[in-house]
Amino acid sequence: MVCLVDRGFVAALLMAAAAALPGVAFAEGAATPAVPETAPAIPPAAPPVPPASWVPGGGEAKPLAEGAMAEKRERWQLRARADAYAAPIDFILDVHREYRPFDEVMDSYGATAGADGFIASLGPTEGFAALGGDCLLDHCVFTGNFSTGGRVVLDVDLRDGKPNGRFAVAADVYDVPTVHGTLEFVGPAAPDVEVPEDDLIHALALAGFILDDYEGNPRMALAAWQKDRGRAPVGPLGAGDWAALKAEADKAAEAAGWTELRDAKAGYVLTYPAKLLVKDEAIKGGGRRLSSADGRFRVEITTAKPFADAAMEDTYNKLVAEKKGRNVQFASLSGPWLEVKAVEKGEVEWTRIENDEAGMRRLVFRFPEDGDQARLVPLFKLTLP
């Protein structure tokens, strides 16, 4: 019930539950109920009994040392059952908790945590969502927006590794929740295939699913790939999923001719799609430009001695400065990394700079705004020996 992203199922569930919810009324012919003026409160999960201390991964109970950061990653299969709907829905809940070493409000060590996670339906519905929330000991509250609309709130007791609690679902992100129910523990969820995250991200990008389009969340991108390829969009990576994704990525890499370009004079190594960027020319001021046969996809490579911090800031300010007809879509300057993506006259200009003691490396990508070249950008790698 928690992954009710199938809009027809959400509508059916809301209609079935309407009789049990005071103040809910249907407009004639409407697919979803009108939002009540006062939504029923979410009954809280049973409050946890605070242990002597929270111990990540089990073991001897002892307070967290000052300055320590405890982490815990868990994944379960749960069953959601709405108060006014008979059919339950099974789903996977994946949670990552990072307990704060000291919370001034609670005046305690390791009592509260920032948490994030992922939720994915196991059927008969489809859907997935990234989750965010907070925890007090093992009592957590999460919220998330589904991939095809709707919002969920989970109020969960995670004690003993057997989560239970309550949930609420709204038909739309901005609606008041109108369906409520219980969460029941089913068992541990099957683990992912052990694949380095960088390898997964790389394969997804080759397949056309880049993290920037999915909140930077590899599970969201993976679930989208699963759904697009007719697989169960559950987020966790099964052996069959990884074999299919890797085969697709390898085929795409071969078709694009991903290879290494070594520039002995400039001293860099560039990983790039040689079958797509077939033209190679020097550019004014040093560096080189690689272009597609039609010239619509271009990549400029320049290297230099390390930039001072002031030079990085000056470069950033120039790239984000307001200019008529230029729309900056994304901009970030963090330590040795600079990235600015802008659109001007229907063309994307995407600048990425890495600057450290080895030197400054700059890649500038240009391609049509309506093209699909953006999926290739994360795959380029420019390194110095």
Lowest mean per-residue pLDDT among 54-58, 61-65, 296-300: 54-58
Angle, helices 218-228/239-256, rounded to nearest 10 degrees:
90
Give, in order, the Cα–Cα distances in Å from 168 to each of 80, 87, 178, 325: 10, 16, 7, 44
Domain extent listing, the chain: 7-188, 197-253, 257-383
Would you say 220 and 206 are in contact if contact means Cβ atoms under 8 Å apart?
Answer: no
Highest mean pLDDT, choosing among 23-32, 34-43, 83-92, 215-224: 215-224
- Residue 222: pLDDT over 80: yes
- Residue 82: pLDDT over 70: yes
User: What b/e sequence results for 127-155 when a residue is b if at least 16 CB atoms lie within 10 Å of its CB, and e otherwise?
Assistant: bbbbbebebbbbbbbbebbbbebbbbbbb
What is the Cα–Cα distance from 183 to 179, expressed in whole angstroms? 13
For residue 34, name the pLDDT band (cuts at 50, 70, 90).
very low
Burial of 227 (0-12, 13-18, 19+ CB in 10 A): middle
What is the Cα–Cα distance from 4 to 340, expressed in whole angstroms? 36
- Residue 14: pLDDT over 80: no
User: What is the amino acid identity at position 264?
Assistant: A
User: What is the amino acid identity at position 369?
Assistant: E
- Residue 318: pLDDT over 50: yes
Burial of 86 (0-12, 13-18, 19+ CB in 10 A): exposed
Mean pLDDT along residues 142-155:
85
Mean pLDDT along residues 252-275:
87
For Cα atoms 175, 179, 182, give the angle at the middle one, nearest 5 degrees: 135
pLDDT at 21: 36
Mean pLDDT along residues 117-136:
78
Fold of 257-383: Protein Transport Mog1p; Chain A (3.40.1000)
What is the Cα–Cα distance from 3 to 82, expressed in whole angstroms? 12
- Cβ neighbours of residue 222 closer than 8 Å, sequence gap 6 or more: 200, 204, 209, 235, 237, 241, 245
Mean pLDDT along residues 323-328:
92
Strands 258-263, 179-188: parallel, antiparallel or unpaired by DSSP?
Answer: unpaired
Residue for token pair 């020996």: 385
Residue for token pair 């001695």: 305
Of 145, 139, 99, 98, the residue nearest 118 (C-alpha): 145
Of 56, 77, 75, the residue nearest 137 (C-alpha): 56
State pLDDT tens for residues 171-186.
776 777 778 899 999 9
Residue for token pair 């966790």: 236
